[in-house]
Structure 1
Amino acid sequence: MGSVGAAALALAFSGFATGATAQQSDTQQQSGNQSAETAPLELGPISVTATRSPISAMRYPGMVTVIDRDQIELKDPDTLEDMFRSVPGVHFDGGPRRTGQVPTIRGFEGENVQIRIDGARQNFVSGHNGRVFVDPALLAGGEVLRGPASSLYGSGAMGGMIALRTLSADDLLDGDDTLAGRAKFGYQDVNQEFTESLVVGGRPMDGVGLLGGVVKRDSDDIQLGNGTELVSDDDIISGLAKADIQFTPGLSASLSYLVFNNDAREPANGQFANTAADSDITDKDIRSDTIRGQVLYAPLGQTWLDLDASAYFTNSQVGQTYEDSGRIVDQDVDTYGLFIDNRSRFSLAERSSLTLTYGVEASQDEQKGYDSASADGTRSGVPNAEAEFAGAFLQGNFEVKDVIPGTLTVIPGVRYDSFSADSDIDDGSSDDEVSPKIAVSYEPIRGLVGFASYGRAFRAPSINELYNEGTHFAIPLPNGQTAVNSFVANPNLKPEVSDTLEFGVGYERSDTLLKNDAFRIKGAYFQSDVENLIDISVNSAGPSRGCFIPPYTGCNAGTTNTVNVPEAELEGYELEASYDTPRFYVTAGFSSIDGENTRTGESLGVLTPDRLSTDIGLRLSEIDTVVGVEGEFASGFDNVDDASEERGGYSVFDLYLQWAPSEQALQGLTVNLGVDNVFDRDHERVFAGVSEPGRNLKGSIAYRLAF
């Protein structure tokens, strides 16, 4: 453990914390038991991720989407892919298995998308074993910030970031409740998945909130839309324990522990539509633990002091045992981190203000690989290595009203980061980067916002990209030889750097057509020019001649290494719109993206077809029911270099219903029913030949009891 790790754990165990990403609820999809005539609607969700300080998602000069607990409970997702599927510009790669799903934002994936749970970085990255492990049933909400975020969050936020917030006692307790519990049972037939969960929260004394929760999922093979079965057997237990303490009105703290454990049976490569030969089936032990502590200090009347000090430790581990040979391989990643930031607020004039957000952050990753089949126990593609990061940032938020008509907001920011990496095969490398950003929004009349931004983002090469060695894949030949494609380390990789311009406009208004309605629409165009994009280069034309000519010297299948692509460009459009009334709601999201190597014209990035998502819901408050239909529409995709990778367009519909009776005898009961892929459509969202799950009938029943 390095100095960063020791300091992180010291701070984690010396303090506690409240949730780092608390947010207001978006009323867009709440069931709401008030009458259709009286239920008030609020305008706009609040983001705390976009600027590290609360700001209206509509007025933020960029694109950010907030998902709250009500939306999670209404849609009842079983994976993060389900939770974020309708967000424009967001796509989950890797195929139907939950263990292989990897989020992408605006064509960036892997280390280019930063993921945090309660502020704790999730830095696990593997070839085919997923990116982040958490059960949505333990989440209170999430935010997706699209676009460069390195000026606040450092390396790895070139495409944006996903910030998840776990449940706290306040999410379960209402009003004067001192103790509450919620039990839930569910089933879906597309993979014969049974789900059981229990969450209990309490306030044993004033200012103290305690919460504990456990979720169990047990599933079998996935029924695909093309009629085949995908080998996938999950046995998952997830847990959360959290303590929140409010010492004074300005001082709060908490400590939390989040765990995810999946005993799975599936191919070694859990991505794509890999049905796998028996020799490739493995028993996987997937485990992730996050310990996080945080102290918030904002004394009343002290506008210059709003301190957040947090520390965390995350361990993510994937172990695999091959059923036929007994071979064991393992990847183990430890992340230690801490960050301290503060917000100082000033009044500059009668109706103008300045908020300064500044702080420091440090983290350390340690990775170990193991392979029982290698002589020294090292694992190909998983080098024993570590990396350290340290950064400092400053951001201003100037809000000026009525100097010119309306409200002008200017948000400049800059962050400095240094980073280093070393491994068993290299003395180490180090570098530093400066990430500036400036964003401007102008609201000439109430509700109408135009915005523009420029941001520079970077990503340091990962330890896997720098130091990968050993076997990538092997091709058995009829003559008994084996052609091996080998990883070649590249410790001279340069950091990726992107410059992004973004322009957009948004509009929101209440009482537009009906009393208590709310209309919102926001769209943006972005263009990212990327230097030294890190890409995988597989140099293989099949087995070499030496594989067929005795004495078979020089038999190989080429090499694989990571390289810098000198110049690349990604651009696209995003649009979000909603119309919400106490009786019904309509939402829509659209995204389009293109990317290429500007020197060769070849496609780059994780490109997707033009995609439109819709959600139409009806609130039947007389019977305490919400019913809705979601649609996903994608154009045919031919933006590929190989015609075999083209795939057709599709239209898919999902139905959902939630019944939460308000009558005294049934209060606390919630029933969810749904049908995914209603018409059992065979479609390909990820890659050509990778079918999605077929029709899925699902349901759950939950009961909340409070005292």
Structure 2
Amino acid sequence: MTGRNPLRAALLSSCALLFPVLAPVLTPVAGFAQGVEQTENLGTIILDTKRDVATDTGVAVTTIDQEEMDDRQASTIAELISSVPGVTLINGSTPLGGGINIRGFGASTAYGANQKVMVTIDGATQGGDEVYRIGTQLFTDPELFRSVSVIRGTIGSFEFGSGVVGGIVQLETKDASDFTGGEIGWKFRQGLNFGTNGDAISSSSIIAWQPTENFELMFNYVWHKQDDQEDGDGNRFVDTGFKDPSYALAAKYTFGGDRSQYLRLSLADTQSSERDVPYDRLSSGSSFGRVDSDNHSRTVALTYGWNPDDNDLIDLKVILSYADLEMDNRALTPSFGFNDARLRTETTKLTVKNTAIFNTGSVAHELRTGIEFSRRDRLDAPSSPGGRDNRVAVFVIDKMDFGNGLTVTPALRYETQNIKYVGSTAAFAGEYDHDELMGGLAARYEFQNGLAVFASGAYTVALPISDDFDAQNKLNGTKRYNYMEMPEKARTWEIGASYSGADVFASGDALSLKANFYTTDNWSVTSLASIKAIEVRGVELEAAYSLGNGLYGEIGANITDGDSQLYSDDRWLGRYSETPADALRLVVGKRWDRELDLSWEMVAAKRYADNSMTCTATPPTPCPISGFGVHNLRATYRPEQGILAGAELRVGIENLFDRDFRPRLATRDAPGRNIKFGIYKTF
């Protein structure tokens, strides 16, 4: 297992170096902290940056809010979260031709998704199938949502699902009150966006109506079209254009004497039709033939909430959700038979959970408990066996605050499964039952000067999915592995530190820092052909700083290394094939109140060379990938007077110098220069 000890030493050295780096920061803060009896007396630190750092938790989580989503003008969800440390895209500028990889897990060059990266929309679970060569199953439009959060690693996942190794992408749809501000009446918001690379155009029309204080209704229609883009050398990405109409509906009714209860219904719907395109969306190759493809994603969630003001033991949520993903491919040219298939997955889930706040002696508890029933049905198709997957899960998470800065959070999840093949092919026949107990423990200690240290350990199990019925490709000499009897298992350890403070270097400034070191062992692997076990190690860094005069800056970085073990001879390779490249994101900007915001963003990645494998010029073999640094400019202007008063004008230039480069794990070069313009107006 070459290369492990040097990296571990480097990570430990980096952790040791973190505190000397913070020393200049802590010195001026020490005086501020004197006489403070409780940590919370420091107050809330408000950063005037595009993105804050989650220093109040040891979980590695990053949230992109509505303002930043508008600022980035992303074409896809994957493109929107590409700036989060630890997130790597396999392509990403097209809805169906890429995938999301977090910490080296999730999408690969063969499969656009698996259950190691979970995606939810208003609590409804999306995708997770290992559909060969299709790419991501999350092609819904970013304009439908008001926020997206990325939880990296396992420790924050037990409330939401099992088998999460890379992380969770959580999306929330918009509400009418996001536009009405809770006031009775109606609002209409129209947005138009244009992009020069691929002649992209999108329109978002939102009607928000609040007839009473207790009822609100929102309808959002998005039309998005983009032709084939070009790389920095002017080469066209053939068959990558798309046209995606989408819409969302949200209705919420609040009731009860203290308005403590509510019912919320949300619907998100996206369609995509493509003609004469490759079945292989990941590399646009011709070996799998060409198809006419119609794709449809529907998500419905009905939520009941009850949180009475006079009872801290009740904060109840009941969520009934339904997700329907349909990909209909009709073959135009002969191939291996994979390309004439209707791939459809329907997931119905009922979740009942409650948060209770109480004390036992000097310890304050925030106890989250829940039970989840899910049913997942998938059609039988070539290369993608169908099946019915029924599960029941219960979880318990207790955040215990000892009152002296120490918080300890144990988490448990128990899940049972019955899965059976429902197609007609005898080779895949079978029915299997599994049950697994998983969980973790997190601890965080916050000093009185804004510094906090944290650590966690987590163990999770990915129960088999319908794709595992296909044992034909799981051969190893004379051995045959039945993946239906081999749940994937993973263990992750994390340690880190954070700091949040105000008036650090100058009056009116604010600073947030967070460093997180992790190591993940994944064994009994079934989601990657020929790979038996994976070890990934890395560090993620986030920082944000703002001054009272409107200047601000952000830094995000990740350094990752990994190894993998083969089924064939138990040999450890020098490098795990899906290891992301080390990457850095730097933002510097200035705000003039709410009227004008100008920023420069630099995204860079280190050269990636894998000398342990034979390198060819054809993906997905991990050839040496050159390092790169690309520059993006963004501007937001909100006129306060004149005919455009109340409007938002946004201009962005991505890949400013039109550089030709290929990110690590991508199967094609990145898009060249793209000038984006957007205008939004609320009436």
Q: How does the TM-score come out when normalised to structure 2?
A: 0.83
Q: Does 1:188 align with 2:195?
A: yes
CA-CA distance at 1:185 after TM superposition:
1.3
Contact between 1:62 and 1:504, CA under 8 Å: does it hold in 2?
no
The equivalent of 1:71 in structure 2 is: 68
1:447-472 CA-partner distances (Å, limit 9, x unpaired): 11100001111211221122366999
Question: Is structure 2 residue 88 aligned with structure 1 residue 91?
Answer: yes
Residues 379-418 of structure 1 mapped to structure 2, 5 A cutoff: 379-402=381-404, 407-418=405-416
Amino acid at match of 2:646: G
Greater displacement, 657-666 / 302-311: 657-666
Partners of 1:437 and 1:604 in 2: how far apart?
Answer: 25
Name the counterpart of 1:132.
138
Q: Is the 8 A contact 2:271 2:295 kept in 1?
A: yes
Number of the residue aligned with 2:342: 330
Query: Once superposed, what is the RMSD of the aligned Cα atoms?
Result: 2.6
Shift, 1:419, TM fit: 1.4
User: In 1, are the aligned partners of 2:636 and 2:651 still within 8 Å (CA)?
Assistant: yes
Q: Answer yes or no: is 1:143 the counterpart of 2:149.
A: yes
Q: In 1, Cα distance between the equivalents of 2:348 and 2:235?
A: 42
| Secondary structure in 2 matching 1:410 | strand
C-alpha distance 658-56 of structure 1, shift in aligned 2 (>3 A): closer
**1:213 lines up with 2:220 in the alignment:** yes
Return 518-527 or 423-432, whichever deviates more: 423-432
CA distance 1:468–1:617, change in 2 (3 Å): farther
Match of 1:525 in 2: 517
Note the C-alpha offset of 1:270: 4.7
AA aligned to 1:298 is N
Alpha carbons of 1:96 and 1:265: their partners in 2 closer, same or farther (altered >3 Å)? farther
User: CA offset at residue 124 of structure 1?
Assistant: 4.7
Between 506-515 and 450-459, report the one with greater CA deviation: 506-515
User: What SS is found at the alignment partner of 1:637?
Assistant: coil
**Could you say if the C-alpha distance between residues 368 and 646 of structure 1 is closer, same or farther in structure 2, counting changes exceeding 3 Å?**
same
AA aligned to 2:681 is Y
Counterpart of 1:133, as a letter, is F
Q: Where does residue 158 of structure 1 map in the other structure?
A: 165
How far did 1:116 drift? 0.5
Q: CA 1:294 to 1:175, structure 2 compared with 1: closer, same or farther past 3 Å?
A: closer
- 1:704 paired with 2:682, answer yes
1:610-648 CA-to-partner distances (Å, cap 9, x unmatched) read 1001111111338x2111111111111013623332211
CA distance in 2, matches of 1:527, 1:291: 36
Do 1:681 and 1:695's aligned partners in 2 also have CA atoms closer than 8 Å?
Answer: yes
Q: Are the counterparts in 2 of residues 124 and 132 from structure 1 also a CA contact under 8 Å?
A: no
Distance 2:539 2:232 in 1: 30
Residues 184, 211 of structure 2: 8 Å contact kept: no
Q: CA deviation at 1:334?
A: 0.6
1:372-383 aligned at under 5 Å gives the runs: 379-383=381-385
Partner of residue 247 from structure 1, selected from 255, 262, 266: 255
Match of 2:654 in 1: 676
Residues 536, 275 of structure 1: alpha-carbon distance in 2 compared, 3 angstrom cutoff: closer
Equivalent residues in 2 for 1:17-56, closer than 5 Å:
42=46
Compared CA separation, residues 75 and 113, structure 1 to 2 (3 A): same
Whole-Å separation in 1 of the counterparts to 2:552 and 2:368: 36
Cα drift, residue 663 of structure 1: 2.6
Of stretches 307-316 and 218-227 in structure 1, the one that deviates more from structure 2 is 218-227
2:545 corresponds to which of 556, 579, 587? 579
Aligned to 1:115: 119
State TM-score, norm by structure 1.
0.81
Q: Does 1:307 align with 2:285?
A: no
How many residue pairs align between the two structures? 601
Q: 2:244 aligned to 207, 221, 236, which one?
A: 236
Structure 1 Cα separation of the partners of residues 171 and 614 of structure 2:
37
* Range 138-147 or range 641-650, more displaced: 641-650
Displacement of 1:91 in angstroms is: 1.2
Alpha-carbon spacing, 1:257–1:468, altered in 2? closer, same or farther (3 Å): farther
State the match for 1:283 in structure 2.
292
Give the 3-state SS of the residue equivalent to 1:356 in structure 2.
strand
Instruction: Determine the structure 2 residue equivalent to 1:448.
Output: 451
Cα distance in 1 between the residues matched to 2:447 and 2:389: 47
Q: Secondary structure at the match of 2:528?
A: strand
Change (3 A) 1:452 1:509: same
1:521 to 1:150, Cα distance in 2 relative to 1, 3 A: closer
CA distance in 1, matches of 2:658, 2:352: 50
In the TM superposition, what is the alpha-carbon distance from 1:274 to its structure 2 partner? 2.3
Say if 2:246 and 2:271, in contact at 8 Å, map to a contact too.
yes
- Does the Cα contact within 8 Å between 2:289 and 2:334 map onto a contact in 1? no
The Cα shift of 1:359 comes to: 0.7
Give the secondary-structure state (helix, strand or coil) at the position aligned to 1:304.
coil
| Counterparts of 2:157 and 2:461, CA distance in 1 | 7
SS of 1:82's equivalent in the other structure is helix
CA deviation string 1:657-695 (max 9, x = no partner)? 111112364332111111111111111114476211111
Give unmatched runs, 5+ long, in structure 2.
1-43, 107-113, 617-622
Q: Is the 8 A contact 1:90 1:104 kept in 2?
A: yes
- SS of equivalent residue, structure 1 residue 153: coil
Secondary structure, in 3 states, of the residue corresponding to 2:181? coil
Structure 1 pair 190–95 and aligned structure 2 pair: CA distance change class (3 A):
same
Matched, 1:685 2:659: no
What are the within-5 Å matches in structure 2 for residues 509-658 of structure 1?
509-537=501-529, 565=532, 567-582=533-548, 583-597=550-564, 599-602=570-573, 603-604=575-576, 606-621=578-593, 624-639=595-610, 641-644=613-616, 645-658=623-636
| CA distance in structure 1 between the partners assigned to 2:458 and 2:662 by the alignment | 34
Contact 2:291 2:340 in 1 (8 A): no
Indicate how the Cα distance of structure 1 residues 594 and 271 shifts in structure 2: closer, same or farther if over 3 A, else same: farther
Partner in structure 1 of residue 12 of structure 2: none
Q: Judge conservation of contact 1:259–1:290 (CA < 8 Å) in 2.
A: yes
SS at the partner of 2:158?
helix
Residue 349 of structure 1: how far off its partner (Å): 4.9
Deviations 1:457-488 (Å, cap 9, x if unpaired)?
1211221122366999xxxxxxxxxxxxxxx9
Q: What is the alpha-carbon distance in structure 2 between the residues aligned to residue 384 and residue 575 of structure 1?
A: 41
Asked if the contact 1:383–1:469 (Cα under 8 Å) also holds between the matched residues in 2, the reply is no
- For 1:605 and 1:163, locate their aligned partners in 2 and report how far apart those are by CA, in whole Å: 27
Q: What displacement does 1:175 show?
A: 5.7
Answer yes or no: is the 8 Å Cα contact 1:629–1:656 preserved in 2. Answer: yes
**Within 1, Cα distance between the matches of 2:104 and 2:497?**
22
For the 8 Å contact 1:124–1:333, the answer to whether it is kept is no
What CA distance in whole angstroms lies between the structure 1 residues aligned with 2:653 and 2:90?
A: 23
What letter matches 1:119 in structure 2? G
Extract unaligned runs of 5+ from structure 1: 1-39, 48-54, 370-378, 473-487, 538-562
CA contact (8 A) 2:157 2:168 kept: no
Write the deviation string for residues 21-42 of structure 1: whole angstroms up to 9, x where unpaired.
xxxxxxxxxxxxxxxxxxx972
Which structure is higher in strand share?
A: 1
Classify the secondary structure of the residue corresponding to 1:673: strand
Counterpart in 2 of 1:168?
A: 175
- Alignment partners' CA distance in 2, 1:267 and 1:387: 32
Partner amino acid, structure 1, of 2:364: S
Gap change, CA 1:92 and 1:266, over 3 Å in 2:
farther
- Please report how far the alpha carbon of residue 324 of structure 1 lies from its aligned counterpart in structure 2 after TM superposition: 4.8
SS across alignment from 1:617: strand
For 1:689 and 1:387, the matched residues in 2 are separated by 32
- Deviation string, structure 1 residues 13-56 (Cα, Å, up to 9, x no partner): xxxxxxxxxxxxxxxxxxxxxxxxxxx972599x9xxxxxxx99
Q: Secondary structure at the match of 2:143?
A: helix
Give yes or no for contact 1:151–1:456 (8 Å, CA) kept in 2.
Answer: no
Instruction: Check whether the contact 1:653–1:678 (CA below 8 A) recurs between aligned residues.
Output: yes
Residue aligned with 1:87, SS: coil
Counterpart secondary structure, 1:589: strand
Deviations 1:248-293 (A, max 9, x none): 221011111110001124633453442648x933222111001110
